[in-house]
A = this chain, B = another copy of it.
Amino acid sequence: MIVQLKNNVKKEQTNQLILWLQAMGVETHITEGSLHTIIGLVGDTSKLDIDMIKALEIVENVQRIQEPYKNANRMFHEDDTVIEVGGAKIGGGNFLAIAGPCSVETEEQIIEVALAVKAAGAGMLRGGAFKPRTSPYSFQGLGPEGIRLLVEAKKASGLPIVTEIMDLSQLKYFDDVDVIQIGARNMQNFELLKEMGHTGKPILLKRGLSSTLEELLMSAEYIMAGGNEQVILCERGIRTFETYTRNTLDVSAIPVLKGRTHLPIILDPSHGTGVAKYVKPMSMAAAAAGADGLIIEVHNNPARALCDGPQSLTPDAFRKLMQDVDRIVEVVRGTKA
């Protein structure tokens, strides 16, 4: 960390600051110029409160050199984390496709989709029971009943299930859910994140619409600081000025995160683009960039879906997509040899 002091600071004040910083357990190195004095901090600075230092009267600016996350940091955990759920593995070279409808609607629907996506090669079933909707007048999901239907589909298909939690009060319904999803709008719902640290279940953490990758890693850190190391990161599109797509899917998040963290990273091309015909090319792109998996919306009748239909694939389109994605994954594995 680099602390830049204001121009007219007294020697005495500088010395006090240095003693205080050393008491926090970091080494200090001073650079005195004619215009600026700079203090370099060396050691474990991840637990220093940067805002607190910025707030000091004699400080002009503070810049971080080291990342502010530790548990999620590849620097301190070199090997890829591999997460295993009901036979499905993700990370460390294991590619996982998660598929299913936006919303769970009926038992028939969810079981039909579960069997179809399993046959096509998916390793996990997704489906919304609690749905975050912009309008209070839109369909809000089946709630606990939706989770019950997901569990039926799990029994019928053998696929582990992932579904979104929107509030801590819903946690009691998640006993039979294999992976808990934190949606983009809740990526910085810190109370929810803290509690996820104590669930013992893998967490699928989606990047917020306008969150930086550093903030995504800090939110993972919230979960991991509670003792839960099983976090799957998910890029699902960020908000930009472009209007032809619903969001801009940040494919470069994959190599950037791969370099900084050991956690698995997946992409959501369905929400990321909002358009069914872009799901395949973006799935191919994600696999080629080295993603550990995909989460894709598949519906047995896109024309009647209660929500998010425009971005859903038919089971048949999903099956063909999986075949092509598999070939890309194979090429990527070959490049590592």
User: Which residue numbers of A lie inside 8 Å of B, CB to CB?
Assistant: 2, 4, 27, 29, 31-36, 38, 40, 42-43, 46-47, 49, 51-52, 54-57, 61, 63, 65-66, 68-69, 132-140, 166-170, 185-186, 188-192, 194, 209-210, 212-215, 218, 221-222, 225, 238-245, 248-252, 254-256, 259-260, 272-273, 277-278, 281-282, 284-290, 302-310, 312, 324, 327-328, 331-332, 334-335
- Of the candidates B139, B190, B242, B286, the one whose C-beta lies within 8 Å of that of A133 is B190
Q: Given the known inter-chain contacts A34-B42, A55-B305, A273-B252, please indicate yes or no for A191 contacting B167, CB distance below 8 A.
A: yes
Q: Given the known inter-chain contacts A135-B218, A243-B212, please indicate yes or no for A281 contacting B304, CB distance below 8 A.
A: no
B33 engages A27 (CB within 8 Å): yes
The complex is assembled from copies of this chain, and their number is 4
A288 engages B166 (CB within 8 Å): no
A29 to B335, CA, bound (A): 43
A135 engages B221 (CB within 8 Å): yes
A65 to B192, CA, bound (A): 37
B327 engages A331 (CB within 8 Å): yes
**Which chain B residue has the least Cβ–Cβ distance from A245?**
B252
A137 to B249, CA, bound (A): 30
13 A-B contacts, Cβ less than 8 Å apart?
Answer: A35-B66, A38-B65, A51-B138, A51-B307, A52-B306, A61-B65, A68-B135, A133-B190, A166-B191, A212-B243, A212-B244, A255-B278, A287-B288
A259 to B278, CA, bound (A): 10
> How many whole Å from A160's CB to the nearest CB in chain B?
25
A253 to B31, CA, bound (A): 32
B252 engages A210 (CB within 8 Å): no
**Which chain B residue has the least Cβ–Cβ distance from A290?**
B281
Residues of B with C-beta under 8 A to A332: 284
Q: Given the known inter-chain contacts A38-B40, A285-B286, please indicate yes or no for A136 contacting B225, CB distance below 8 A.
A: yes
A61 to B63, CA, bound (A): 12
A63 to B40, CA, bound (A): 13
Residues of B with C-beta under 8 A to A55: 302-305, 307-310, 312
Residues of B with C-beta under 8 A to A254: 281, 285
